[in-house]
Amino acid sequence: MHTTRTPADPRHPVEPRKGPRKGPSRKALRRAPRARVHPAWWVAGTAALAIVVAGALTTLSGVLVGPLGATFGWSRSTVGVTVSLNMVLYGLTAPFAAALMDRFGLRRVAAAALGLVATGALLTTVMTAPWQFALCWGLLVGLGSGAMTTTFAAMVGQRWFVRVRGLVTGVLTAAGVFGQFVFLPVLSWVTERHGWRPALVTAALAALAVLPLVRLLLRDHPADAGLKPYGGTEFVPRPAAPRGAARRTVRVLVDAARTGPFWLLAGVFAVCGASTNGILWSHFVPAAHDHGMSATTASSLLALIGAFNLVGTVSSGWLTDRYDPRRLLAGYFVLRGVSLVLLPALMSGTADASLVLFAVLFGVLDVATVPPVIALCRERYGADSAIVFGWVGAAHQIGAGLMAGLGGLVRDVFGTYDPVWAASGALCAVAALMASAVRASPRGGPGK
């Protein structure tokens, strides 16, 4: 009797095969139906834990502004420069990380990223000069957290899910802000009671604790287990690992930059970064402190924003599966702009009802922009969409970095953050117009 020999079985010599495997072995297909829980959910859960830790590190900058100034006598603009570097590198790392994940796999890149953020956070505890802060926090933590950004969420969703892809992407995106919701009040309390160094050590230990789970549970592709993506009707072979990750990343940028939608989406996301990470997550705590609010209370309001990020982002993923993402984006930015313009009038020394209402509304809108932008990138750029989204995400962090630096400078010059809140609101109105201007993708390829 003739027995089919699969290329996955090293015991049987076969002719060399060019390109990716056409399908799973019969043995793998026989095993697949026995799984009670599709491995896609284990992958998504592990990815979520890693993103949670990275999210905690990205917002810790705002907690460090005051303590670093008190410890070393640094101005807010001095600290803001390193925070800007952290955010810009966070963004620029994302598209290269997407290409590296295609080349080396999700697991290796995620594990290396967690190691970087843990190392950077620990080294920050022993730095004494601004250039050392820039090296440890700006460079190492920026690079590590950038590899665990929403591009990572997009990669997991694209590889492992067909059905509920938008919803899963929204959940993984929300995991980053869940890290803020869980860790930020705790780290702020640790900072106030025990100092900023123990807070950094706590964050670093959290990253190191998740690292073994990533090594154990994070699978690179469903084809590795002989499975279809969750909700898929056809087996998807694992693509051959492309070489030249950096070259491919730049090539995708050059190709995408020739299309109008790329620049519109990059502009939209630059404003998104400026009006969230750049001003709110970096300067809300010191701004609230200017009005007499304690850092713990201000961090609790940020945590409330993080809690409602979960509601907003997951809901946005669900809506993106059903409605035009352009209209969703425009509506989100209009509402966000109004809330930022009103914020100076709401500021006080206590977390009264108006500030709580602001936190709830802003939390719903904060990261809700991500699923529609991912969907638009996927719609227009196909297999390269994760890398394109990485470049769009780089624009997000460039906008965030510029606003973080300018926010500290404005505060030093004018003694208030009020002009920055107003400028952020105006930028949101511009972003709403740009989102509306993105044309629907024609059949057959990305639009020009």
Specify the residue for token string 């810790």: 60
Report which DSSP code applies to 416: -
Here the tokens at position 351 are 């977390």
**CA–CA separation, 89 and 104 (whole Å):** 21
C-beta separation of 207 from 57 below 8 A: yes
Helical ranges in 137-195 per DSSP H? 142-147, 150-160, 165-194
C-beta separation of 286 from 446 below 8 A: no
Virtual torsion, Cα 167, 281, 149, 436, nearest 10 deg: 60
pLDDT tens, position by position, for the chain (448 residues)? Answer: 444 444 444 444 444 444 444 555 555 444 444 447 788 888 888 988 888 888 777 777 777 877 888 888 888 778 878 877 887 787 788 788 877 888 888 889 999 999 999 999 999 999 989 899 999 988 999 889 888 877 788 788 888 887 777 778 778 877 777 776 677 778 878 888 888 899 899 889 989 999 999 988 888 888 877 788 887 777 877 776 666 777 888 898 899 999 989 999 999 999 998 998 788 777 788 888 888 888 778 878 877 887 788 788 888 888 888 888 999 999 999 999 999 999 988 888 788 888 899 989 998 998 889 889 988 988 888 878 878 888 898 888 788 878 877 887 888 878 888 888 889 999 999 999 999 998 765 433 444 4
What secondary structure does DSSP assign to 192-243, as a single string? HHH-HHHHHHHHHHHHHHHHHHHHHH--S-GGGGT-PPBT-SS--PPPPPPS
pTM above 0.85?
Answer: no
**CA–CA separation, 356 and 343 (whole Å):** 11
3-state class (DSSP) for residue 321: coil
Sign of CA dihedral 152, 158, 163, 167: positive
Counting beta carbons within 10 angstroms of the beta carbon of residue 69, is it exposed (0 to 12), middle (13 to 18) or buried (19 or more)? middle
3-state class (DSSP) for residue 407: helix
